[in-house]
Structure 1
Amino acid sequence: MAEETVVPMMFLFLFLLMKRRAEFEGASIERRNDAQRRLRLRQYFQQRQRKMILMVMARGGCRCNCRTRIWCKPRTSDWWERVVMKDFQPNDWLENFRMSKETFFHICNKLKPMVSRRNTHLRPALPLEKRVAVAFWRLATNVEYRIISHLFGIGRSTVCKCVREVCHAIVSLLKPLYLKMPANQEYETIAQMFGRKWDFPQCVGAIDSCHIPIIAPPQYHKDYLNKQGWHSVVLQGVVDDSGKFWDVCTGFSGSSLDTKNLRNSALWRMATEGRLFPDCSRDILRTPVKYLLIGSSSYPLQEWLLKPYSETAKLTQHQLVFNYRLSQAHTVIDEAFGRLRARWQCLLKRNDCSLELIPTMITACCILHNICEKHNDSFNNDWRGVLGQEEFPQPKQVMSDNTVDRQAEEIRQVLSTYFISQGES
């Protein structure tokens, strides 16, 4: 009888013991959660108190340096505010920003919708003109962000952000205005100027390519290695008689050939679909000749794109004269590339920007080139000195397409005869 009463008592004792232990552990967990909750509340109120202090300081008329000192190292913008904005002469603007002061502020006004920023309670926004100046300094010199940071009194990350935002804004806002396909009447004007300057009829543009040095991308090391042995991206451009670009396509790897780049561009697609030029022909020696481009021997011969005769074979007098006339007219794009790279030296020196930003930066430089040329900003011929000392000489062009287009060959022969007859007359 005693054993029957002891066993239930033992189970009851164990049950009460386990219940007590669970209650103790639950109370311990609740105390720990309560302590963590009080700690979070304390941190929240401390952060809120700190934010209220900053807002009171901002609204209380505290100077800019007092507010920004909380967030970054003390820097001075005296050079920008006092020297550039007040003491810079016209030559200083041209030498440092590669354009006149009037053109600079004209561009700033155009970029205002995308580049300007508003002040906050914590710090004042960087002025629009200063943002644009930072980007132009980088494009004109290709110096390190650290140097630009010290010069303008801003952080390196801010320099990087300004360059990126301004380049994207230039392409988005200014490309439709300053780098676009000519209208029908403009084609006629360009053709007349090519005929007047170089006596090359029906020519409305010269096409060529240019290699821009870059840092070797780790994942595409061989793809961007060009024939000269350095890494680059290719800029394909078309210019009018005055050396202004009306079509650019960039971002191709340095190892790609000109023919491949052309076939992958929108220019080729429009030409093959018959949408590149208006249907306007001129009879030359009783043969209708439409508008056309002229290119180097590395491009394919097309009805709308003429290139010189190959000099590997023995050429006739007609062919030699055609090559000479074409090479004379084609110098306009060589001159345009020279002025472009001399003015914006980020295209001349090795560019350490990300591979995603470089095509946008190159296109932005072409747009700025057109703006400066249109506004007749002076070009300092001393800038050309860097072209003869460049570390990365342009690779030699390779003839990559021997396809013979029957209509294109006929047009080339007609023009060869036309040039000879012009010489005789």
Structure 2
Amino acid sequence: MDSEEKLRSLMFTVTYLLMKRRRDLTAAEARRRAEAQQRVRQRHYFLQRQKRMLMMLIAQSTRSVNVARTRAWTNIESTDWWERVVMTEFQPSDWLEHFRMSRETFFILCGKLKQRLTRQDTCLRPALPLEKRVAVALWRLASNVEYRTISSLFGVGRSTVCKCVREVCHAIAVMLRPLYLRTPSQQELEDAARLFSTRWGFPHCVGVLGSLHVPIIAPTGNADSYWNSRGWLSVVTQGVVDGLGQFWDVCAGFPGGTEHASILQSSTLWTMGCEGSLSPTDPPPRNFMGRPLGYLMLGDAGYPLQSWLLKGYPESEGLTPGQRAFNRRLERARSVVDDAFIRLRARWQCLLKRNDCHMDVVPTMILACCILHNVCEVHGDIFVEEWLDAVRKEDNPQPADEAPASCDSPAGEEVRALYCEYFLQQDNHQIQQEHLI
């Protein structure tokens, strides 16, 4: 009996301990689940708070006079922000501010890119609409904000934002370059020369050549060649604009340490100029100061003097009146390319602020921005002067190169001397007219 009693007592003790252990494990599991759920709720709360704050910032940046509408934006989920806000409530000023173009130009752009960018739905997920893909890319080009910010705003993944930027920029370069950025025909060159003569007072000129350095992050390899003369990392873009400030030749993607003259000599523009492709053949070139003279372009001190590419005389006290007159007229005409680059960077701030994209994307992005600049100018989209404030606050001053005099052509010096005589005659004639009055 004593042994049976002891056995029952032992079994009761073991059973009690097992039940207590089970209760302890169950309670611990419940606590872990509660803590995990609390962490999920907190994470969800902070994520929603971040989204609300982002929407509030975007709403405040727009110039809507309707306060109720602005407050409503802060409560809209990012997944349908595009459909419910942009497509239905954005005002003309909102389109200009965030996409740098009017609504009408935006849909013209989408129509021209439709053939290359349209995607079909799959069994796994619906395809991103064409308009939304273009909008994502334009937002990035216009603001240069991080991919994760655009991802939260449009309700798409960061990898999708990166893919949209790549594909849209490439599509713009392939589809729109033949329409908006191409070498002028003979008739267009004649029109350009007429415009430069009447508006800028420089006859026989069809374009102004300039260079733009775009700040970048350090590339993975051969970073030394990307340091420019001002001491910051960049890639160089060479561009030619007409008298209206629209690009008709762009060569982008050279390391920042490359001399401007070397970029020119490795481009097709150099071949065109040296082979005389800029000058008309039928009819032959018109006379200028008693000799036939073809079309030419203007550049700065970083380019070599050629018969088809003129630059100013180095400033010194020994310049003749004709040379000073030439420098004044050339700088006045050259301002068109400086203004074009300023407007380009003010409109598309991915070229103004440090671009953190991979180096295989940056040249295409620069080319796409130049094409979009022409698209906006051709379609008459408003340029908001306040955009220039960002350019005025730029931290990275543009480098200035100077080609050695040994690179200058004697034929170019002869042409430049003709212009000195021409401008001096004009100045003397103007002085005589003022005296007669």
Q: 1:288 aligned to 2:292?
A: yes
Q: Specify the alignment match of 1:380 in structure 2.
A: 384
Q: Specify the alignment match of 1:175 in structure 2.
A: 177
How do 1:219-238 and structure 2 match up within 5 A? Answer: 219-238=221-240
Query: CA deviation digits over 1:68-110, x for unaligned, max 9?
Result: xxxxxxx842211100000011111011100000000000010
Q: Specify the alignment match of 2:116 in structure 1.
A: 114
Q: CA deviation at 1:404?
A: 3.5
TM-score by length of 1: 0.81
Residue range with higher mean Cα deviation, 176-185 or 118-127: 118-127
Q: What is the alpha-carbon distance in structure 2 between the residues aligned to residue 94 and residue 141 of structure 1?
A: 12
Residue range with higher mean Cα deviation, 88-97 or 394-403: 394-403
Matched to 1:218, the amino acid is T
Matched to 1:418, the amino acid is Y
Query: CA deviation digits over 1:220-254, x for unaligned, max 9?
Result: 11100001111000000000000000000011110
Q: Specify the alignment match of 2:34 in structure 1.
A: none
Query: CA deviation digits over 1:116-166, x for unaligned, max 9?
Result: 111112211100000000000000000000000000000000000000000
Q: Specify the alignment match of 2:66 in structure 1.
A: none
Residue of 102, 105, 117 corresponding to 1:103: 105
Q: Specify the alignment match of 1:307 in structure 2.
A: 311
Query: CA deviation digits over 1:368-394, x for unaligned, max 9?
Result: 000000001000000000011112221
Structure 1, gaps ≥5 residues long: 1-74
Q: 1:241 aligned to 2:243?
A: yes
Q: 1:129 aligned to 2:154?
A: no
Residue range with higher mean Cα deviation, 409-418 or 156-165: 409-418
Q: 1:368 aligned to 2:361?
A: no
Q: Specify the alignment match of 1:322 in structure 2.
A: 326
Q: CA deviation at 1:218?
A: 3.0
Matched to 1:420, the amino acid is L
Q: Specify the alignment match of 2:41 in structure 1.
A: none
Aligned-residue RMSD, C-alpha: 1.2
SS in 2 for 1:212: strand
SS in 1 for 2:240: strand
Query: CA deviation digits over 1:321-378, x for unaligned, max 9?
Result: 0000000000000000000000000000111111111000000000000000000100
Judge conservation of contact 1:234–1:252 (CA < 8 Å) in 2: yes
Matched to 2:351, the amino acid is L
Q: What is the alpha-carbon distance in structure 1 between the residues aligned to residue 312 and residue 165 of structure 2?
A: 40
Q: What is the alpha-carbon distance in structure 2 between the residues aligned to residue 300 and residue 313 of structure 1?
A: 22
Q: What is the alpha-carbon distance in structure 1 between the residues aligned to residue 179 and residue 315 of structure 2?
A: 40
Q: What is the alpha-carbon distance in structure 2 between the residues aligned to residue 86 and residue 252 of structure 1?
A: 42
Query: CA deviation digits over 1:261-312, x for unaligned, max 9?
Result: 1001111122223334423422122122110000001110001101111225
Residue of 414, 419, 423 corresponding to 2:418: 414
SS in 1 for 2:293: strand
SS in 1 for 2:399: coil
SS in 2 for 1:315: coil
SS in 2 for 1:77: helix
Judge conservation of contact 1:110–1:173 (CA < 8 Å) in 2: yes
Judge conservation of contact 1:225–1:231 (CA < 8 Å) in 2: yes
Matched to 1:112, the amino acid is K
How do 1:35-184 and structure 2 match up within 5 A? Answer: 76-184=78-186
Query: CA deviation digits over 1:39-75, x for unaligned, max 9?
Result: xxxxxxxxxxxxxxxxxxxxxxxxxxxxxxxxxxxx8
SS in 2 for 1:236: strand
Q: Specify the alignment match of 1:341 in structure 2.
A: 345
Residue range with higher mean Cα deviation, 296-305 or 400-409: 400-409
Q: CA deviation at 1:403?
A: 2.7
Q: Specify the alignment match of 2:302 in structure 1.
A: 298
Residue range with higher mean Cα deviation, 274-283 or 382-391: 274-283
Structure 2, gaps ≥5 residues long: 1-76, 430-437
Judge conservation of contact 1:287–1:414 (CA < 8 Å) in 2: no
TM-score by length of 2: 0.79
Q: Specify the alignment match of 2:4 in structure 1.
A: none
Matched to 1:214, the amino acid is I
Q: Specify the alignment match of 1:273 in structure 2.
A: 275
Q: Give the 3 Å change call, closer, same or farther, for CA 244–193 of structure 1 in structure 2.
A: same
Moved >3 Å (runs of 4+): 399-402
Judge conservation of contact 1:115–1:128 (CA < 8 Å) in 2: yes
Judge conservation of contact 2:253–2:363 (CA < 8 Å) in 1: yes
